[in-house]
Amino acid sequence: MRDVHRVLGEWMEQAGCRVTIDAVGNLRGFYAASREGAPRLVIGSHLDTVPDAGAFDGVLGVVLGLALIEGLSLARLGFSIELIGFSEEEGVRYAVPFIGSRAVTGTLDPDIIERIGPAIREFGLDPAGIPAAALANDVIGFVEFHIEQGPVLESLGRPLGIVETIVGQSRFALTFVGAANHAGTTPMHLRRDALATAAEWIGAVEEEGRSTAGLAATVGALEVESGAANVIAGRVCTSLDVRHPCDEDRRAAVRRLVSAAEAAGAARSVEVETRPLLDRCATAMDHGLTARLEAAAIAEGFPPHRMASGAGHDAMILAHRFPAAMLFLRTPGGISHHPDESVIAEDVDCALAVGARFLAGLEADYA
């Protein structure tokens, strides 16, 4: 990350930015307006990613923002631009996502600050300065450019997408508790098979996802005890991840899926334990800022597809305090969080043209 800060920081300075690193490790480049006291537009995304990932998730949005500033050729606008490369969006190290963006919105919990304090000090920063990382109230809005990380835009043949909503998410741990026993000597009608119960429920999860518009329902983890070929499974631990743009629809689906697990357990005399892990509300992007971004895309000849984001992004954190908008770029193969993650150069050109048109539209209002 030091190397990333050094390289991007040098590029920011060359583009005319004043560069700082705040106390939570966000890299920030401030491109001043033509006059004192002007409001600012924030552009940004994250610099971290997951292990064995690709080269574009997050960082592409930072570099795109930098390219837009470079395109101004040191000309000053009626508003400032603050470009932020957020730290710790993925939550890999501490299982807490959006650390950098929470800091700039002033919503980073004190207990999290205490947990990450040693790493911040080791990096050469002072966690006592984290409150000062919060943005002031002079922000016009926040714009994030990001790869889609999915196959929708590619399937439609569209280079760009306009995010209307970042979906809400529910996450649970479910445990099916039956009775382990000998696979050869226990008659089928006398079994309390935890794995067969879980398997029936997993099928119900997939069916719920397929039959409910806009819903994504996933069982991604499965731990079977004892895991031997000749032993009826006595205990199975599973995960449940449910996402939908509408919180009411998401929670209704969760209720149906929990009921389905309990019904499957009752039919086989298997106990079902359900533990909620996450209930994150959907986040709508700002209507006005989104309309501006869409108008810029249409003016440049790239009518975008309006869509929901199935993944979380820094924009969902900024949106709780400031107007926020997101522009997605097509992801070839829908591959992300993988070394084969890529973008199409022409799509990046499209995004830059749309971003430049968007800035020009704002300038007409703030000049």
Q: How confident is the model at residue 272 (pLDDT cuts 50, 70, 90)?
A: very high
Angle at which helices 287-299 and 345-366 cross, to 10°:
120
Query: Distance between alpha carbon 174 and the CA centroid of its chain, in Å?
Result: 24
- Mean of the per-residue pLDDT values for the chain? 96
Model pLDDT for residues 31-70, shown as the tens digit of each residue:
999 999 999 999 999 999 999 999 999 999 999 999 999 9
| C-alpha distance across the termini of the chain, in Å | 37
Residue 79 scores a pLDDT above 90: yes
Inform me whether the pLDDT recorded for 259 exceeds 90. yes
Confidence tier at 29 by pLDDT (50, 70, 90): very high
The pLDDT value given to residue 238:
97
Share of the chain above pLDDT 90, in %: 97
Tens of pLDDT, residue by residue over 118-174, are: 999 999 999 999 999 999 999 999 999 999 999 999 999 999 999 999 999 999 999
What separation in angstroms does the CA of 39 have from each of 2, 45, 150, 187?
A: 30, 20, 34, 74
Condensed to tens digits (0 to 9), the pLDDT of residues 7-17 reads 999 999 999 99
What mean pLDDT do residues 78-95 have?
Answer: 94
- Mean of pLDDT values over 297-312: 95
Q: What mean pLDDT is predicted for residues 161-190?
A: 96
The pLDDT, as a whole number, for residue 95 is 82
Q: Which two tokens stand for residue 18?
A: 């004043």
pLDDT at residue number 96 = 87
Cα–Cα distance, 285 to 54 (Å, whole number): 26
pLDDT, tens digit, 9 for 90 and up, residues 204-229 = 999 999 999 999 999 999 999 988 99
Query: How far apart are alpha carbons 142 and 60 in whole angstroms?
Result: 16
pLDDT for the residue 67? 98
Helix, strand, coil % over all residues of the chain, rounded to 5: 40, 25, 35
Identify the structural domains of the chain with CATH numbers, from first to last: 2-166+282-366 (3.40.630.10), 168-280 (3.30.70.360)
pTM confidence score: 0.90
Say what the pLDDT of residue 226 is: 86
The model's confidence at residue 367, banded by pLDDT at 50, 70 and 90, is confident
